[in-house]
Structure 1
Amino acid sequence: MVVKLKDVTLQNYWDVLSLTVSKEQEEFVAPNAVSLAEAYVYEKNGDAIFPLAIYDDNKLIGFTMLAYDDKIGISQGNYLLFRLMFDQNFQGQGYFKLAMDAILKWIASDTLRTANYLWISYELENTHAQLCYLTYGFLETGDKLDNEIVALYRLTN
């Protein structure tokens, strides 16, 4: 498996829109159409937002959306992991760690911005996501945002 991130473009956005999660996860992850609409609005607002397709070699397997918080206000001066989803046909196949590695590599390659943390939030009921993030090295802060658990991953030593 060779996981890499690519921009969402005219060539792949319909494929990104067709990605779906399992029924059990629909309450936890916004549809990609909503995420791309949010990315458009954030970008028009002047925010640094990055919708990215997740590929295993040349096979589209998921979608992620990152932001750098210049003025969003949630985690000033840090990155936010707004979305991370894998199509239901690729869940449970070991892609989470590989995708997170690719996300961290992408952040490290961004020479325009510096940050100490990657910030996420997830719903308390989303125990699978919680286990994935905590196992990867995120630490819960004890804070909540819109009734979601806040967790941080340290980007710098």
Structure 2
Amino acid sequence: MIQLKKVDWDNYEDVIKLHVAKEQEDFVADNDASLIHAFLAMSEGEPVFAFAIYNDDTPVGFIQMGYDDDWSGEERKDWLESDVFKKWDGKKYYFIWRFMIDKKYQGKGYGKEALRKAIEFLKTEPCGKAEYITLSYERTNEVARKLYFSFGFYEPTEFAPYYHDEDEISAILKL
């Protein structure tokens, strides 16, 4: 049975040992880098949820999520005058920052069940109300696209409030 367990002192090394296949390495950051990013974000007061994905007692993947309700900050200064900013200004949303299943455990339905549990968790509004869940995926990652769309995520007609470039697609799920 798939479970999400908070990354802690007891399991962080197991999470770091999980890896995607070589041809998938451009799709997601390594888990050690992801945990460092989570630590840095939390040190700046950002809410971050880092979970190991387990099948029974076996770690099979990792998912990291966050919450955003603050549109200020240096990283968004270019957006402040844009139509995109006007559309998303004041909206609160959760985001799936990292999501991976180890290469040894792919194709077994673990990713689908883990994503279902992650969405259920975010629907409990652990940081407060939100209108959306956002995420992004590499344009060439058709497996991820199909998975996300099967849960109702869609690509917005305008830029979504999440990292996006010519290689990466943003998708949102209305809560």
Q: Is TM > 0.5 for Structure 1 vs Structure 2?
A: yes
SS in 1 for 2:157: strand
Identical aligned residues as a percent:
37
Which of 1 and 2 has greater Rg? 2
Deviations 1:65-110 (CA, angstroms, capped at 9, x unpaired) = 0000133668751000001100111101111221111102211334
In structure 1, distance between residues paired with 2:47 and 2:172: 19
Larger deviation: 99-108 or 59-68?
99-108
In structure 2, distance between residues paired with 1:85 and 1:143: 26
Q: Structure 1 residues 3, 53: closer, same or farther in 2, change over 3 A?
A: same
SS in 2 for 1:29: coil
Q: Aligned residue for 1:80?
A: 95
Aligned residues, how many? 154
5 Å matches for 1:18-97? 18-71=17-70, 76-97=91-112
In structure 2, distance between residues paired with 1:19 and 1:142: 35
Q: Which structure's residues are more often strand, by fraction?
A: 1
Q: Does 1:149 align with 2:164?
A: no
Deviations 1:93-131 (CA, angstroms, capped at 9, x unpaired) = 111221111102211334441112110111111122111
2:47, 2:127 within 8 Å by CA — same for their partners in 1? no
SS in 2 for 1:107: helix
2:67, 2:127 within 8 Å by CA — same for their partners in 1? no
Look up the equivalent residue of 2:165 and give its one-letter code. Answer: D
In structure 2, distance between residues paired with 1:6 and 1:125: 30
Give the alignment's Cα RMSD to 1 decimal: 1.7
Cα shift at 1:56? 1.4
In structure 1, distance between residues paired with 2:3 and 2:70: 28
Q: Structure 1 residues 112, 82: closer, same or farther in 2, change over 3 A?
A: closer
In structure 2, distance between residues paired with 1:72 and 1:130: 27
Consecutive aligned runs of 4 or more in structure 1 exceeding 2 Å deviation: 70-76, 108-112
Structure 2 unaligned spans of 5+? 77-87
Larger deviation: 65-74 or 98-107?
65-74
Structure 1 unaligned spans of 5+? none
Q: Aligned residue for 1:15?
A: 14
In structure 2, distance between residues paired with 1:86 and 1:80: 18
Superposition TM-score, scaled by structure 2 size: 0.81
Cα shift at 1:21? 0.4
Cα shift at 1:33? 0.6
In structure 2, distance between residues paired with 1:136 and 1:104: 9
Q: Structure 1 residues 37, 92: closer, same or farther in 2, change over 3 A?
A: same
